[in-house]
Amino acid sequence: MELLTVSFSSSLAGNALFLARQHLCKWKNHSRFDLEAKFVRNRILNKSLRRGRRCLSEKREASISCSTGTGEDPLIPVNKKLSDARVIYAVAPAMGHNQESHPESHFRVPAIVNALEKWELSPKFRGLEVIELENFNAASSNDIASVHTRAYVSGLEKAMDQASKQGIILIEGSGPTYATVDTFRESLVAAGAGISLIDAVVAESKISKSPPVGFALIRPPGHHAIPKGPMGFCVFGNVAVAARYAQRSHGLKRVFIIDFDVHHGNGTNDAFYDDPDIFFLSTHQDGSYPGTGKFEEVGHGDGEGTTLNLPLPGGSGDTAMRTVFDEIIVPCAQRFKPDIILVSAGYDAHVLDPLASLQFTTGTYYMLASYIQQLANDLCGGRCVFFLEGGYNLKSLSYSVADSFRAFLGEPSLASEFDNPAILHEEPSTRVRQAIERVKHIHSL
């Protein structure tokens, strides 16, 4: 729906938020994260505010700055620092976009940043091996309008006046997506982080056969946001905007998007449903929000065959996802021959996450990160950028992202220090096999 047609409310509603509140007791016990998150929040809030000053600019600058933890000038151009990098990430925590008790909270990104520090995976400990991209520009309205309607973009910007008076407003009718006075600016910053990572990874891929993997540690998430408006906690389609930018600015025509969030990325699905040059592949829990992503949704017109949806039965876990990767993701990517791989990295399929009932573990996410990195190395010169989507248990989210960083660095997983096999149930292997075979038949794999 167009934002301008939405009636605003000061209270949150919708099925997704109802389910979230039903399960808040499972993840609100994170007191040790609270003090740590406040410390990290103060560090990154200042960065976010600096970036936000340019968020309404229609022009993007070519320069990028980074931090390496070496004590050198952080404003040195990134192309002088990336030669030894294995991971490059950008942080956009959207601290001003927050609703008390909402699962998509402003503690999410700080919890991840804290975990990177705790496990010595940050530039402070890794020097040139891990780089944080800083002082990047926010996305422009034109960048966003490559995916979303201008009516929605301008309507959201105008709605900030109402948010400044009411504090919190609903921007999705009766749905769970809210806005504060900072939401428009913070959402442009989040999208800009992804765009800047595209620039950095592509630039390095021109001079190195093993460019760093990019990771946008950003919020609000984006894969539910449809072209005409927000949806499901999501404001702008961050990965979709980045895909269009990669095509437009770098000539990377064929974009392969993997979405392993527990919920179907309906916004990304819709944005490219008739586009033969963008392959969207989503694995998600069958029957989960928003109820889309059926087997038969395969694209339309020229785009028929470049959308693949694999709804997995509840209880699916590590074994199921390994099989899906080998039998579905790899052959699809090999046949498509992408120029770049983008990933909607949702960590809410974790067994501890409160909003669904798959059984991924921290080890599952390590596997996915490692395998996708290798897939990018094999097929598209290593060009690969991850975008944070869901993940609402702060501990499983932060540990899983940290273990993804270990995978990118080629280091052993530490999932065994966090995962508890005793809480896992037997996976529905027969139903998983049926789902895989159905997809293989539909897509001639």
Cite the active site residues: 224
Angstrom distance (rounded) from CA 405 to CA 121 = 7
Task: Identify the CA nearest to 96 among candidates 4, 180, 211.
Answer: 180
Angstrom distance (rounded) from CA 306 to CA 293 = 13
pLDDT by position in tens, the chain (length 445): 344 333 333 333 333 443 443 333 333 444 334 534 443 444 544 444 434 433 333 334 333 455 555 444 343 344 446 778 999 999 999 999 999 889 999 999 999 999 999 999 999 999 899 999 999 999 999 999 999 999 999 999 999 999 999 999 999 876 789 999 999 999 999 999 999 999 999 999 999 999 999 999 999 999 999 999 999 999 999 999 999 999 999 999 999 999 999 999 999 999 999 999 999 999 999 999 999 999 999 999 999 999 999 999 999 999 999 999 999 999 999 999 999 999 999 999 999 999 999 999 999 999 999 999 999 999 999 999 999 999 999 999 999 999 999 999 999 999 999 999 999 999 999 999 999 999 999 999 9
Angstrom distance (rounded) from CA 232 to CA 290 = 8
Using CA atoms, how far residue 390 sits from 137, 138, 185, 265, 393, in Å, is 24, 21, 20, 11, 10
Angstrom distance (rounded) from CA 169 to CA 357 = 30
Question: Can you give 231-285 as a three-state secondary structure string?
Answer: ECCECCCHHHHHHHHHHHHHCCCCEEEEECCCCCCHHHHHHCCCCCCEEEEEEEE
Beta-carbon contacts of 425 under 8 Å, excluding residues fewer than 6 positions away, are 315, 359
**Count of beta carbons in the 10 Å neighbourhood of residue 223:** 31
Q: 14: left (phi > 0), else alpha (psi -120 to 50), else beta?
A: left
For the chain, the first-to-last Cα distance in angstroms comes to: 36
Q: Does domain 90-443 have CATH number 1.10.357.10?
A: no
pLDDT recorded at residue 37 = 45
Using the CB atoms, write b or e for 399-421: b if 16+ within 10 Å: bbbbbbbbbbbeeebbbeebbee
Angstrom distance (rounded) from CA 185 to CA 160 = 9
Report domain extents, the chain. Answer: 90-443
Contact 58, 157 (CB under 8 A): no
DSSP code, position 171: S
The counts of H helices and E strands in the chain are 14, 11
Q: Helix (H, G, I), strand (E, B), or coil: what is residue 123?
A: helix
Angstrom distance (rounded) from CA 252 to CA 254 = 6
> In the numeric block, which tokens belong to residue 309?
């949806």
> In the numeric block, which tokens belong to residue 84?
């030894």
Q: Which single residue is written with the structure tokens 């094999």?
A: 378
